[in-house]
Chain A
């Protein structure tokens, strides 16, 4: 087995580990928190402004 073969296997292994962590964390987050909490639609956000109100570019632009 050459160093290049090792690199290929290493890349496969690392890919599997990263994929596993991503799926694990996403699954645990979905289990730990309610869907209502994680998924806010824009109307759920209500008065929470999507922009920085301290921003001079948008200040005073609200109706």
Chain B
């Protein structure tokens, strides 16, 4: 207590407001960009080259709707926890608890997958450098998670400034590959006309294949909605969230289209559909040693940026739930020096490490796919909530009743498009991972039962309304 007096901090301890639009861009694009370097190409296996391109643009539309909805609601309810905080205002505690859990699980699982992939990349790099023995991925996966947790622990400004730089670098490496292969020049030494000219490579499994490809098309954009998590730490959320998020989705659609073109022009679709690091493999086929190294570093930078952003977002969701007593209040602690939710950051570190090394320990690579599917499905559940959220938000605060920094155009069309496309992706995921989908739904059902039985009594419903908005009549 004496230290409390010494520091003169009689006022409430809160998160520091230091972020601007570039940090929001770095957070949103940083979480996602790794999907351009790996993962999206499984859409080619499901739907062929053009099936993957259709998935890229259709899912791009899905995420454009998400970003626009996010820009309106998050700038009006700028609180840590993002969609969780929105849910407690627009729907109620049980929905909010579920959304908070979806977010925490989606980002923690993605962080684990990133650390696992980073270990794999280092092992590959050691082979490129002439190592004949198998380099163990464990220490590097664990070190990556711990160093990024340290960065997050010591302050959000440095964390997201680093994310901005490494994400920018990773994006530039994609452009470098496009320039290096002279992607704009039809006469350049690529095989695009031979590789992508026939419908055999374009839509080998017809339109059902295209729908099946949607699941992996999500890799191009999965996580951009995480920009809402940083709203409470923005100097001006109403400016930063729409600017950073909308610039982010534009960056991603450009990066996704270039990625598809570069890979389609260099790699046969049968190989592309199963490659682990398609952009890196494409760089190897250019014959340029410099591009190979640039893309190797770009892949690593994208992986680190994604894991870094995931730690930031998962910890904010966990912290926000604890601050509302949905979880034990112990997790709601803010570090007096760094102004970060330090206990939430630390608590999620062993969880991420466990899921990162489990596929290695059990020597079961398919477990990594399950971890990633857990993340994707948790994200999809959040998107379905965002449809309800947008409709309810406009019902509670119609246009004209509050000042909006960003107003979603042609409402409710974007919300309805989001609902239809998210349902199609659920169907596509059900085709490939039906049992995983059911087990995840059971997991969230059991968690909801736990919340209702054990935690609901601690939730003070009167104090749930914290947004800087007028209370709707009868709220």
Which of B12-20, B182-190, B360-368, B426-434 forms part of the interface with chain A?
Answer: B12-20
> Chain B nearest CB: distance from A40 CB in Å?
5
Q: Are B239 and A57 in contact (CB under 8 A)?
A: yes
Task: Please name all residues of chain A whose beta carbon is closer than 8 Å to the beta carbon of B232 when the two chains form the complex.
Answer: 50-51
Which of B4, B76, B139, B239 sits near A15, CB closer than 8 Å?
A: B139
Q: Are A49 and B468 in contact (CB under 8 A)?
A: yes
Chain A, Cβ-Cβ closest to B9: A37
Q: Does B146 contact A (CB under 8 A)?
A: yes
Would you give the 0/1 interface string for A52-63, flagging 1 where the beta carbon is closer than 8 Å to chain B?
111111111111
- When chains A and B are docked, how far (Å) is the Cα of A63 from the Cα of B396? 14
Which of A8, A14, A39, A46 sits near B330, CB closer than 8 Å?
A: A39
Q: Does B455 contact A (CB under 8 A)?
A: no
Q: Does B405 contact A (CB under 8 A)?
A: yes
* Chain A interface, number of residues (Cβ within 8 angstroms): 48
Task: Please name all residues of chain A whose beta carbon is closer than 8 Å to the beta carbon of B131 when the two chains form the complex.
Answer: 2, 4
Interface residue ranges of A14-59 to B (CB < 8 Å)? 14-15, 18-19, 21-23, 25-26, 29-30, 32-35, 37-46, 48-59
Q: Does B219 contact A (CB under 8 A)?
A: no
Q: Are B149 and A22 in contact (CB under 8 A)?
A: yes
- When chains A and B are docked, how far (Å) is the Cα of A21 from the Cα of B150? 9
- When chains A and B are docked, how far (Å) is the Cα of A50 from the Cα of B234? 10
> Chain A nearest CB: distance from B265 CB in Å?
35
Q: Are A57 and B12 in contact (CB under 8 A)?
A: no
Q: Does B91 contact A (CB under 8 A)?
A: no
Chain B, Cβ-Cβ closest to A48: B12
> Chain A nearest CB: distance from B374 CB in Å?
25
- When chains A and B are docked, how far (Å) is the Cα of A56 from the Cα of B242? 14
> Chain B nearest CB: distance from A18 CB in Å?
4
Q: Are B135 and A33 in contact (CB under 8 A)?
A: no
Task: Please name all residues of chain A whose beta carbon is closer than 8 Å to the beta carbon of B234 when the two chains form the complex.
Answer: 52
Tell me whether A18 and B147 are in contact in the complex, defined as CB-CB below 8 angstroms, given that A41-B329, A50-B78 are known contacts. Answer: yes
Which of B142, B237, B335, B463 sits near A52, CB closer than 8 Å?
A: B237
A-B pairs, 8 with minimum CB distance: A57-B238, A57-B405, A11-B139, A63-B470, A43-B463, A38-B333, A18-B146, A48-B12
- Seen from chain A, the residues whose Cβ lies within 8 Å of a Cβ on chain B are 2, 4, 7-9, 11-12, 14-15, 18-19, 21-23, 25-26, 29-30, 32-35, 37-46, 48-63
